[in-house]
Amino acid sequence: MTNLDKFKNSIAQTSDAPMGLEISHAEGPYLYTTNGKRYVDFISGIAVSSLGHRHPKVIEGIKEQINKHLHVMVYGEFVQKPQLKFAELLTSILPNKLDQVYFVNSGTEANEGALKLAKKHTGRSKLVAFKNSYHGDTHGSLSVTGRDVYRDPYLPLLPDVHFLEFNSFEGLEDVIDDKTAAVILEPIQGEGGIIPSDEKWLKEIRERCNDSGALLIYDEIQSGFGRTGKMFAFEHYGIAPDILCLAKAMSGGMPMGAFVASKEIFEAFMYNPPLNHVTTFGGHPVSCAAALANLNELLSGDYLEKAKLIEKKSKEKLKGKGILEVRGKGAMLGLQLESKELTQKVVKQCFSLGILLGWTLHSETLIRLAPPLIIEEDLLNDVLTVIMMSIEQHS
Ligand code: PMP
């Protein structure tokens, strides 16, 4: 049996066509396979390794921490320096009212926690979400994910969730009301096809939330930590949330998620009863040490500029027959092609030429472009040239 056969045999499969790359190691923008091939990781493990693979500063932070301690106690009982230092640094770069952090282990857990927090803080249960959103695969997050094919097999999900059209004003006035605990949205929809929200629409939602007492939750699990050319996507709009959900690129390739809100909102987790929302591994000291090193590096380098350069070059170069649009911000881009066939051919050919691309969950005609922010300009240009050649050849 080959390792691929063994993989298919012993690891639960999530599709019948896994890529099946057998990874030997990964460094910077590259993945290396056991058969000696090298791939440019142009999707950064789906927006995770924004500083590339094994960034030296992240590795250093991890090594320092593993020499001190691993897990020591469930969340909230002990003072752990890596958590503390990272939370302080993170809140120092966020708006004042986002001044406390709750650490979890993944994106979907961050959203779960945020939804529960909003319900407990407001004493309400109604939730408002948007079509084509993606918030994760646990029951709560799936309940606010706006795509029926993923929801239907698991019904019934949470009751009292109302879906509105993304970027449409219709229903905002009526649906966001004094029974609403929270409105949850991605400032730039990721799996929905890299769709930035409209500024006026976001402002209207913020106002409806203020008027009705509903909390506004931003899911920045994919768009956070520099990917869009700002540290957080909401900075493009200047409209802050009440709860901010983070994960993916936060910890340089280690598993971690977080949701950030004000002390006043977080009080709901302290009382009636105490310990009403806890986690064993959330805020793991090694992940926090990695996240601290990752954020310090992001803040000290020219990574945001690089994200903007990636947007500029991609929008300049990817033009012509077969291409409908390149949309998105910074290094969170979607290349909209005219057909599913063309998309498949281009992804397949680039793969055979050593470039890893991908699509988004809810679209079959969009190629996701999410290179790491450490990518050198020459490599970026080379990859864009290959993608362009492939599109020209197949359209
Ligand atoms: N929210 C968004 C916007 C995401 O892109 C993702 C992952 N693609 C999630 C939530 C879920 O994160 P995780 O896979 O870490 O649970």
Q: How far apart are CA 91 and CA 134, in angstroms?
A: 25
| Residue % of the chain over a pLDDT of 90 | 96
Minimum CA distance residue for ligand 1 atom 5:
222
Sign of the C-alpha dihedral, residues 178, 182, 188, 194? negative
Instruction: Determine if ligand 1 sits within 6 Å of the CB of residue 193.
Output: no
User: Which atom, in ligand 1's list, is nearest to the CA of 255?
Assistant: 15
pLDDT score of 288: 98
Task: Return the residue matching tokens 């809100």.
Answer: 261
pLDDT score of 74: 80
| Spans of all domains in the chain | 3-54+302-394, 57-300
Angle separating helix axes 303-317 and 377-394, nearest 10 degrees: 30
pLDDT score of 113: 98
What's the mean pLDDT when you consider all of the chain?
A: 97
Q: How far is the CA of 135 from the centre of ligand 1 (A)?
A: 6
Give CATH superfamily name and number for 3-54+302-394.
Answer: Aspartate Aminotransferase, domain 1 (3.90.1150.10)
Q: How far is the CA of 156 from the centre of ligand 1 (A)?
A: 21
3-state SS class at 217: strand
Minimum CA distance residue for ligand 1 atom 15:
107
Q: What is the band of 76 on the pLDDT scale with cuts at 50, 70, 90? A: confident
Which amino acid would we find at residue 36? G
Residue pair 14/137 in contact by the 8 Å Cβ criterion: no
The pLDDT tens digits of the residues spanning 35-50 come to 999 999 999 999 999 9
Distances (CA, A) of 95 to 206, 238, 262, 271: 15, 10, 10, 26
User: Which atom, in ligand 1's list, is nearest to the CA of 109?
Assistant: 16
The pLDDT tens digits of the residues spanning 200-253 come to 999 999 999 999 999 999 999 999 999 999 999 999 999 999 999 999 999 999
Peptide bond before residue 153 is cis, with ω within 30 degrees of 0 = no
Q: Is a pLDDT exceeding 90 seen at residue 334? A: yes
The closest alpha carbon to 258, from 227, 220, 303, belongs to 220
H/E stretch holding 203 reads: helix 199-212
Q: What is the band of 311 on the pLDDT scale with cuts at 50, 70, 90? A: very high
pLDDT score of 359: 81
CB atoms within 10 A of CB 67: 7
Average pLDDT estimate for 366-394: 97
Average pLDDT estimate for 60-73: 97
Distances (CA, A) of 66 to 82, 228, 246: 11, 32, 24
Q: How far apart are CA 204 and CA 269, in angstroms?
A: 29
CATH 3.40.640.10 describes domain 57-300 = yes
Instruction: Determine if ligand 1 sits within 6 Å of the CB of residue 259.
Output: no
Q: Is a pLDDT exceeding 80 seen at residue 265? A: yes
Residue pair 50/225 in contact by the 8 Å Cβ criterion: yes
Q: Is a pLDDT exceeding 80 seen at residue 122? A: yes
Q: How far apart are CA 77 and CA 83, in angstroms?
A: 12
Q: Which of 221, 232, 243 to mutate to test the pocket of ligand 1 (most atoms within 8 A of CB)?
A: 221
Q: Which of 222, 243, 246, 281 to mutate to test the pocket of ligand 1 (most atoms within 8 A of CB)?
A: 222
Q: Is a pLDDT exceeding 90 seen at residue 360? A: no
3-state SS class at 136: coil
Instruction: Determine if ligand 1 sits within 6 Å of the CB of residue 113.
Output: no
What's the whole-model pTM score? 0.98
Phi and psi at 162, nearest 5°, equal: -115, 125
